[in-house]
Structures are given as C-alpha cells and as structure tokens.
Amino acid sequence: SAADKGAYPFYMLKEVDEQPAVMRKLVQKYFKDDQPQLDEKLLQDMADADHIYIVGAGTSYHAGLIGARMFERLTKTPTTVHISSEFAYEQPLLSNKPFFIFLSQSGETADSREVLVHVNEHHWPSLTITNVDKSTLSREATYTLLLYAGPEIAVASTKAYTAQIAVEAILAKALGEFKQIPEAQDFALKQQLGIVANGMQAITDSKDKIESLAAHYLSKPRNAFYIGRGIDWSVSLEAALKLKEISYVQAEGFASGELKHGTIALIEKNTPVIGIVTQDRTAGLTRSNLEETEARGANTLTIAARHLAKEDDTIVIPDVDPLLTPLLSVLPAQLLAYYTSLGKGLDVDKPRNLAKSVTVQ
C-alpha cells in the first residue's frame, strides 16, 4: 500500500524521496492547461477579504511563513501568520473582513481547531489546507484544499511541508489572477513546479554527499544554527526544527543579521552554522554574517542557489523562482537531519516525546 516502507529503513527517507512525485501530482490535480482551477466562490471570498490570517502549528506554521510572502507578493493582500496555540488565547486585533487559512497536515491539531471554532462563531470564511480529507479541520472550515501527499507516517513532517507551500503558491497564483495582479499573471507557476520537481530529484540523488556532511559536521556538536534572511530565514526555522526533533541537536533557525545582537555569543569552536543563500538581495549579507561566525570558530556550511553559488559552497541547489526556493532549500536540511539521527542510531520515525498529531491543547 501507499503506507508501506518498502525497501526503506525509515518512513522519513521514503517521504523525502516522494516529494518530486507530490509536486507533479499537485500540478495534475490543480492545473488545467497553464492555469490553476480553483472554486470561484473561494476566490471571491478571499478577494473580498482585507486581511488573510494563516494559522498553524509546528511545521505547518513554518509553511505558513512562506505562504504569507506569496499572498502578499502575488495578491497584494496583507497576510499574517500565527501559531495556533498563541492565537487561540491571545487573539490579535482583527481586520474588518478577515479570511482564515488553516494549515494542518493531519487536520486534527487541537490548538488549530480551537481557533476555527472561534472563527465559525463569527461566521468568518475559512479554508483548511490539509493532507486528510474529511478531517475535523476540513469538515469545519468553509473550504478545503487537499495536499495529495499520500499518508505521512514519520513524525518529522517533510512532504507535507513542501506540499503545503506548493498549494499556497497555487492558491496565491489563482487569487492574484482573479484580482488581476500583474505579479500573479506573470508567474509561470506550472512550469516552475516542474522545475521544482526535477530539482528535488537532483537533491535526493545526492544522498551520499549529505550523509557524509552530517557525519562530519553534525554528529558530535550539541548545538547548531541555520541562518538566512527573508524567505531563507523562514526555511531556516523549519531546517532547525527537523534537526532538533529527530537528532536531538539543539538547533536554532536565526535571522542572520540579528546574530550580532546577542546570539553570536553562543558560537564556539566547531559550532555548525549553516547559511541558506537563495536570494539576490540578501546573499552577500548572509555570506558576511557566516564569515563573522567563522571568525569565531564556527564550521560554516552553505545551501546556495546555483546562480549565486561560489566555488566553496557546500550544497548547491538548482535555480527556481525566488518565491519557490524553500521547496528546494529545505531538502538538504531534511536529509542532514535524517542522516544525523540515523548516524546516532536513533529511531528516526519515532523521536522521543513527540506525537504525529497533537489532539490536546
């Protein structure tokens, strides 16, 4: 069945490898010719909104951070992202016409549902983006978009994160087209998702290299950093979470320009600092922040986009539209976490203290 491990030692590796196929599946499910086909009522409700609120927990929250950038860029709708357990009990002042997007792989996270119950009391329109059809959050929201990622068994989420980002991109493109926003009209998303699928394949084909990097740099240290700016910072949060949850390395994802305001004090000899470098405007800045940590003894590594690559970059990823780089830059981080955990002999799929779906608040 789809939930079989087959020849894989752990589900997580299988699920990492499935990501190119999930991208292709999403193109097949959501596009007709070159245009995304979504429910017109959904698009009208979103176009009527003056603010989009994205709500999620864990990896889904991190996928929301990427989506917010897309909604603002492609649809010109102010968008904010909220941790569901915070939003439920410390609700921010809302706009007049809010629209809510719930991101949840399982569709069952109690903290997120708590927010949705409140949203429904106010009859605000909502959309759940989930991997599980007819899950609680799907049934209770106004609209649902499915991730079509197939069952995700490993506790550490991988293919659901990239599927969430891809579905957010599809929705942002469709809404931007609906609102006749030039940035959306010019965004060749279908073609880009094909490039993404091939790029993911190229990265998953370089497992041996990533395994030896994990053994060399991450097997011993107790702590590590992922750093970046803008969208690369958002990915660094997810990259650090992967490392923490399955390899028990205390990892932090950090805005690279903010390091010097305190956190750089933590850098010691051989502290791994991994820079994510995919954006033209910030590449040089992140590189100099990496050098600052190196001068204090860090072992620096880079995950850099091809067109920005320098000779000594550690991992070079294929080029793609600047809004879609997270779909590629996160893969080396997923694999680094996987091989660090594997190398330590840990149960990659079932890390201590964690559950796949958290139905308590």
Q: Which of 155, 273, 324, 331 binds ligand G6P (CB under 6 A)?
A: 155
**Bridge partner list, 52:** 79, 99
CA-nearest of 191, 252, 190, 196 to 226 is 252
19 binds ligand G6P (CB under 6 A): no
Please select the residue that binds ligand G6P; options are 75, 112, 144, 340, rule is CB under 6 A.
Answer: 112
Of all residues in the shown chain, the one whose CB is closest to ligand G6P is 58
**Helices assigned H by DSSP within the chain:** 11-17, 19-30, 40-48, 58-75, 84-87, 110-121, 136-140, 159-178, 182-185, 189-204, 207-213, 231-247, 283-294, 326-343
Contact (CB, 8 A) for 339 and 214: yes
End-to-end CA distance of the chain: 33
Closer to ligand G6P by CB, 59 or 192: give it: 59
Region near ligand G6P per CB under 6 A, out of 12-20, 53-61, 75-83, 143-151: 53-61
Cβ-contact 106, 356 below 8 angstroms: yes
Tell me how far apart the alpha carbons of residues 163 and 361 are, in angstroms, rounded to a whole number: 25
Smaller CB separation from ligand G6P, 96 or 353: 353
Q: What are phi and psi of 102, to 5 degrees?
A: -100, 125
Among 105, 128, 278, 289, binds ligand G6P (CB under 6 A): 105
Contacts of 304 (CB under 8 A, 6+ apart): 275, 277, 278, 283, 310, 313, 314, 315, 316, 317
138 scored as a contact of ligand G6P (CB under 6 A) = no
Residue 60 binds ligand G6P (CB under 6 A): yes
The amino acid present at 227, given as its one-letter code, is: I
Q: Which is nearer to ligand G6P, 60 or 162 (CB)?
A: 60
144 binds ligand G6P per the rule CB under 6 A: no
**Closest separation in Å from C-beta 349 to ligand G6P:** 11
Residues identified as active-site: 356
Which range of residues in 4-12, 52-60, 250-258, 267-275 is near ligand G6P by CB under 6 A?
52-60
Q: Are 222 and 210 in contact (CB under 8 A)?
A: no
> Between residues 58 and 332, which has the closer beta carbon with respect to ligand G6P?
58
Question: CB within 8 A of 347, min separation 6: which ones?
Answer: none
Query: With contact defined as beta carbons under 8 Å apart, do 103 and 54 qualify?
Result: yes
The smaller minimum CB distance to ligand G6P, of residues 166 and 259, is found at 166
Min. distance of Cβ 224 from ligand G6P in angstroms? 19
Per DSSP, the chain holds a count of helices (H) and strands (E) of: 14, 12
| Number of residues binding to ligand G6P, judged by CB under 6 A | 15
Q: Does residue 325 belong to the site contacting ligand G6P (CB under 6 A)?
A: no
162 is a site residue for ligand G6P (CB under 6 A): no
Cβ proximity to ligand G6P, 26 vs 241, nearer residue: 241
Kindly tell me which residue out of 19, 104, 128, 329 binds ligand G6P, with binding defined by CB under 6 A: 104
Stretch that binds ligand G6P, among 121-129, 191-199, 283-291, 352-360 (CB under 6 A): 352-360
Q: Does 157 bind ligand G6P (CB under 6 A)?
A: yes
Binding site for ligand G6P (CB under 6 A): 57-60, 104-106, 109, 112, 155, 157, 354, 356-358
